[in-house]
Amino acid sequence: MDIEKELFKKEKIRFDSLEEYGFLKDKDIYIYSKKILKDEFEVKVKVDLDANIESYVIDLDTNEEYLTVKTNSQGEFVNKVREAYLDILNDIKDKCFTNKDFITDQANRVSKYIFDKYNSHPCFLWSENHGFGVFKNEKNKWYGIIMNINISKLTKGDYEVEVMNLKVSKEELPKLLEKENYYEAYHMNKKHWVSIVLDGKVDDKEIFKLIDESYDMVLNSK
């Protein structure tokens, strides 16, 4: 169970808030610790300058990490420890982080471009797929969607990516599919839409151009 990855994946750290919260800086690492459950355990949180986050629960009787809180183990005692641990992580998230619409930097840059040009916010329509943000035009028609999915939905592999689906012309589609990070559209009409992996390998300006084309095509379609 990767608690930090799930909890902070759509959060942007505010480094200036860490020391105010109680983190101590040791060279390039910010460290926070707090005892819980009548001083039986200690929660330690480390944040480096690249915004990587690690956290631990230490059993102070043995001075070893209490790994059970990061498993799916259930029980009154472990649930009590896990709850106290998560309370601290959530408080740090609320006080020291800012929520982002999406996970990757490129997905958030794309979202900002769309808002700046079309005054269009992503609509998160599905509670079970809270990372799926739909962009609609003034006719309430979709011209783009950003999704976090497993790469296996597009090609070989087993890891999470964010992709953007855009409408493209039939003439342009086969040319795009020959390029890196372009795939047949996931969950959309593969004859008219394409999926682009948003990991920075496709230049922002290239994606912006395709967004404009998708916007125009959808707006002018019957």
Confidence grade of residue 218 (pLDDT, cut at 50, 70, 90): very high
List the chain domain ranges: 3-99, 105-220
Q: What is the pLDDT of residues 155-182, one digit of tens each?
A: 999 999 999 999 999 999 999 999 999 9
Of 68, 89, 90, nearest in space to 79 by CA: 68
Confidence grade of residue 34 (pLDDT, cut at 50, 70, 90): very high
Instruction: Give mean pLDDT, residues 98-118.
Output: 92
pLDDT at 67: 93
Domain 105-220 - what CATH class?
alpha beta
pLDDT at 220: 87
pTM of the model: 0.72
pLDDT at 96: 95
Confidence grade of residue 1 (pLDDT, cut at 50, 70, 90): low
Instruction: Give mean pLDDT, residues 105-130.
Output: 88
pLDDT at 195: 97
Query: Which residue has 């944040």 as its token pair?
Result: 47
pLDDT at 117: 95
**What's 121-167 look like in SS3?**
CCEECCCCCCCCEEEECCCCCEEEEEEEEEHHHCCCCCCEEEEEEEE
Confidence grade of residue 125 (pLDDT, cut at 50, 70, 90): confident
Under DSSP, the state recorded for 212 is H
Residue 127 has pLDDT above 70, yes or no: no
When comparing pLDDT for 91 and 99, which is higher?
A: 91
* Pair 179, 197: CB distance under 8 Å: no
Q: Please name the residues in contact with 157: beta carbons below 8 A apart, sequence gap of 6 or more.
A: 150, 151
Question: Residue 118 and residue 215: Cα distance in Å, rounded?
Answer: 9
Q: What share of the chain is helix, strand, coil (3-state, %, to 5)?
A: 35, 30, 35
The number of beta carbons lying within 10 Å of the beta carbon of residue 8 is 20
* Mean pLDDT of the chain, nearest integer: 93
Length of the chain in residues, anyone? 222
Residue 7 has pLDDT above 90, yes or no: no
For residue 20, the surrounding DSSP H or E stretch is helix 15-21
121-130, 146-155, 181-190, 192-201: which has the minimum mean pLDDT?
Answer: 121-130
Question: Residue 208 and residue 212: Cα distance in Å, rounded?
Answer: 6
Confidence grade of residue 129 (pLDDT, cut at 50, 70, 90): confident
Residue 194 has pLDDT above 90, yes or no: yes
Share of the chain above pLDDT 70, in %: 98
